């Protein structure tokens, strides 16, 4: 089965240096200008390298797989990050740090509450399912309805977790940027998007 790792010919524990060397080796072999060139294979290698060279995208791929989904969620994270930047632009200088800290805390709280709500639904449905006595006709219609609701709640949890990862990735995309703002009549304030301890 094709994956970014198999396309580059590296194992999942490969270091960034090994990934880079593997990419350059494959690129030399498959470049369309070479006799051994293969345009389609080269595209696969380029896509694989785009995911594996970026620590955030690689981590997301390792957790969730699906190259297409990884790219979609990276695009979603970039959109979230752009929204954060726009919101920061609209803040008064002295309020920027408070805004960033509040946003992190709000997202963390919402994530926990949403996952807990879906887990409560699953627990309630499973408890109800134990009370069902199968109909004399032999078909367990009610259980099939409950099973579908449990399946949907499980999908909801997966979607909530993916959204949470996108939000964390958005902060990671901004991490490392520093800028100075001037509070009215106060000293300059240094802001850093550091998510390592907060999220």
| pLDDT number for residue 172 | 78
pTM attached to this predicted model: 0.57
Compute the distance between CA of residue 179 and CA of residue 19 in angstroms, rounded to an integer.
33
* Alpha helices (H) along the chain: 4-8, 16-30, 39-52, 55-64, 67-89, 96-129, 141-174
Higher pLDDT, 11 or 50: 11
Residue 81 lies in a domain: no
Both 13 and 102 in one domain: the answer is no
Residues contacting residue 8 through CB under 8 Å, at least 6 positions apart:
19, 22, 23, 26, 45, 48, 49, 52
Both 188 and 98 in one domain: the answer is yes
Residue 42: exposure state from Cβ atoms within 10 A (0-12, 13-18, ≥19):
middle
Compute the distance between CA of residue 64 and CA of residue 165 in angstroms, rounded to an integer.
10
Compute the distance between CA of residue 61 and CA of residue 71 in angstroms, rounded to an integer.
9
CATH code for position 22:
1.10.287.110
Residues contacting residue 143 through CB under 8 Å, at least 6 positions apart:
129, 132, 134
Domain count, the chain: 2
In the structure encoding, which two tokens stand for residue 111, read together?
Answer: 């994530």
Domain that holds residue 139: 92-192
| pLDDT number for residue 194 | 52
Compute the distance between CA of residue 116 and CA of residue 113 in angstroms, rounded to an integer.
5
Residue 174 lies in a domain: yes
Residue 70 lies in a domain: no
Tell me the average pLDDT across 54-81.
75
Residue 169 lies in a domain: yes
pLDDT band per the 50, 70, 90 thresholds, residue 195: very low
Both 48 and 99 in one domain: the answer is no
């Amino acid at each position: 089965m094709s994956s970014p790792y198999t396309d580059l010919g590296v194992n999942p524990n490969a270091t960034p240096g090994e990934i880079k060397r593997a990419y350059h080796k494959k690129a030399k072999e498959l470049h369309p200008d070479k006799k051994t060139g293969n345009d389609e294979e080269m595209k696969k290698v380029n896509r694989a390298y785009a995911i594996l060279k970026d620590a955030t995208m690689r981590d997301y791929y390792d957790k969730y797989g699906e190259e297409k989904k990884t790219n979609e969620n990276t695009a979603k994270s970039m959109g979230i990050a752009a929204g954060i930047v726009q919101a920061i632009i609209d803040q008064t200088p002295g309020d920027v740090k408070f805004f960033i800290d509040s946003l992190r805390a709000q997202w963390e709280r919402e994530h926990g509450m949403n996952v807990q709500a879906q887990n409560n639904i699953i627990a309630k449905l499973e408890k109800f399912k134990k009370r069902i006595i199968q109909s004399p006709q032999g078909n367990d219609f009610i259980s099939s309805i409950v099973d579908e609701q449990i399946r949907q709640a499980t999908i909801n949890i997966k979607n909530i977790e993916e959204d949470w990862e996108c939000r964390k990735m958005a902060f990671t995309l901004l991490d490392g940027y520093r800028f100075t703002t001037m509070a009215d009549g106060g000293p300059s304030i240094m802001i850093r998007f550091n998510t390592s301890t907060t999220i």
